[in-house]
Amino acid sequence: MSSPTAFDPALGPPAAQGFRMPAEWEPHEATWLTWPHDAAHWPGKFEPIPPIWARLVKELERGEDVHILIHDDATEAAATAAMDRAGVIGRRVRRHRVLNNFSWARDHGPIFVRDGRGRRLITHWRYNAWGEKYAHDLDDAIPAAVARVTGLPAVDVPMVLEGGAIDVNGCGTLLTTEACLLHPNRNPQWRRPRIEQTLRDNLGVSNILWLGEGIAGDDTNGHVDDLARFVGPRTVLAVVEEDAADENYGPLRENLGRLGRMTDQDGRPLEVIEVPLPAPVVWEGMRLPASYANFYIGNEVVLLTTFNDPNDQKAVDALQRAFPTRRVAAVDARDLIWGLGAFHCVTQQQPSERPAPTSNFKSKI
């Protein structure tokens, strides 16, 4: 599919050879998905899940290739039926038979990096299902499988990291949380300096910004993609809770205060866009991680989680201002988050070989 990247481990880690993780809004060659196949991940609510994946494929295929990991024959048949019903064209859709445990491609999928010449590399971080919470033997092997499919080389990184735990601006700044990356269920023998250096070495970042706690209902120990996301080189969309009695109010106010004191890699203050959370979404007595921050930026579309809530429109408006040349597809995610994840969690971008236009590095806010 792609020509191999010249990467020589003897010359040092990826950053030393000019590789960096692009921002999500930079041009993609493709988006990777893992088709859902285990109803136990959405107990009592699996029927509406495959149609959501089909809707995502339909929205994405207009602007980029879509690669789907398929677990088995039954999953293949279910995916075909769902995409046919959704009107997926399919000319830019590729399916690959790869065994998997879960459908959260953001976390088990590879993290792609690229250099200034368009050479690309897969970084294969360790994956332990958010602290050994679930089976992950198949998912931990997925980056190697993607490397075989794409023909891109992969470098093993001996640190547990999920893609939803980080967000980058593509210019050298990375946003993460203490609650997740410093949790003892990930890298118990590692301290902050070693974690930061590993991120710098493999993702090409120089400026690492730490938020605190995550939102209620998030079983990832506080992934940043439910809290705050870059929508420009120094512009961050952050969710806030307006009800002082809500359990999210204090942690999100603390995170907002931190963002207000943070700067980008060049020492410039961040611009922060506040978007209020929806009202609590509860299913079978369990609060779910409903957040507008779990959006995905495709080449032509921004996939936004919505919850039939008055604040949905505020999130749509904020993202449309941030990305005026992209469609904002607002898709109801109330069924999806019963599995404790949303649209950013189920997608993983593969950057294009071509460099991003200069205009992509200018905030639209």
Beta strands in 258-340 (DSSP E): 271-276, 282-283, 286-287, 296-297, 301-306, 327-332
- Please give the radius of gyration of the chain, using alpha carbons only, rounded to the nearest integer: 19
Residue 171: active-site member:
no
Instruction: Name the token pair of 38.
Output: 């285990």
β-strand pairing of 173-177 with 228-232: unpaired
CA distance 327 to 329: 6
Q: Which residue type, as a one-letter code, is found at position 39?
A: A
Number of Cβ atoms within 10 Å of the Cβ of 283: 16
Selecting among 345, 348, 350, 351, the annotated active-site residue is 345
Alpha carbon separation from 84 to 5, 79, 80, 94, 278 (Å, rounded): 36, 8, 6, 15, 32
Q: Give, to the nearest 10 degrees, the angle between helix 49-60 and helix 73-86.
A: 60
Burial of 93-103, coded b for 16+ CB within 10 Å and e otherwise, reads bebeebebbbb
Instruction: Name the token pair of 284.
Output: 């079978």
Furthest-apart CA atoms within the chain: distance in Å:
55
End-to-end CA distance of the chain: 37
Catalytic center residues: 345
